Amino acid sequence: MTLALNWTTTDKAGVDNGIKILVYGKAGTGKTTLCGTAPAPLIISAESGLLSLRHKALPVVTIKTMQDVWDVFTWLNSSAAANIQTVCVDSISEIAEVLLAAEKKKTKDPRQAYGALNEEMVTLVKAFRDLPKKHVVVTAKEAMATNEVTGVVTYGPASPGRTVGPALPYLFDEVFHASTGRDQTGKVYHYLRTRADMQVDAKDRSGVLDEIEYPDLTNIITKIKGAI
């Protein structure tokens, strides 16, 4: 019997599947604005905070229910979405809250609601992450945790429940922490941290990004693809 195996090579797979990125940070750190810097993006929004993109005419799908999310996913796998190069999910934290609210209506036991949330959110994130031939950018809110023994404060992506947020970084090759600073004149600027430190979870599996990157996804994706 001859098996029909889908052979490729690691260099081609990296290009064909697109770059998959998780970006998290506090409100006001430029996550939604960042989505507008991606190549030919479609923004899947579960938030109302699109004012930062008012100067751009980008396609947006507003999510109200989980069925909306899966309908968009189906559309993205059709020929109608051929011109979409980057899928931006903004934000996965908000989508998780939509799902949790729906699950709480189905059961009186909150443990069952959170259990269903954990399972479906991981399935959802993996489905979007694995969209072929498209870059995928997923944004998330920031969660703060304090180690009870050492007192060290750490930051990572946030989601309702205890397991979804901490699981998100393991699902992506690129994990960026969005943050802000002030220059010598006091002007606020945005930046992305691509490597972990004692407090922040981040990683760059491409190995080509600087530790601190300017928040421009087209530039970052071009940089990564140029090294493949």
The CA distance from 149 to 134, in Å, is 43
191 DSSP β-pair partners: 179
The CA distance from 169 to 157, in Å, is 8
The CA distance from 175 to 167, in Å, is 12
Give start and end residues of each alpha helix (H) in the chain: 10-16, 31-35, 66-76, 92-106, 110-129, 164-167, 217-226
What six digits make up the tokens of 96?
A: 């998780």
Instruction: Walk along the chain (228 residues) and give the pLDDT tens digit of each residue.
Output: 556 666 566 655 555 689 999 999 999 899 999 999 999 999 998 866 666 677 778 889 988 888 899 999 999 999 999 999 999 998 888 888 888 887 777 777 777 777 777 888 889 999 999 999 999 999 999 998 888 888 888 899 988 877 888 889 999 999 999 999 998 898 999 999 999 998 999 999 999 999 999 999 999 999 999 865
pLDDT for the residue 192: 97
Using CB atoms within 10 A of its CB, is residue 19 exposed (0-12), middle (13-18) or buried (19+)? Answer: buried
Single out the residue of 22, 155, 40, 38 nearest to residue 91, CA to CA.
22
pLDDT for the residue 11: 56
167, 135 contact by CB (below 8 A)? no
The CA distance from 127 to 8, in Å, is 21
Domains and CATH numbers, the chain: 18-226 (3.40.50.300)
The CA distance from 123 to 155, in Å, is 24
21, 66 contact by CB (below 8 A)? no
The CA distance from 173 to 134, in Å, is 14
pLDDT for the residue 187: 92
- Coarse DSSP helix, strand, coil percentages of the chain, rounded to the nearest 5 percent: 35, 25, 40
The CA distance from 100 to 165, in Å, is 14
pTM: 0.87
Can you tell me whether residue 28 is helix, strand or coil? Answer: coil
pLDDT for the residue 42: 95
Contacts of 84 (CB under 8 A, 6+ apart): 40, 41, 42, 59, 76, 134
What six digits make up the tokens of 148?
A: 């009870």
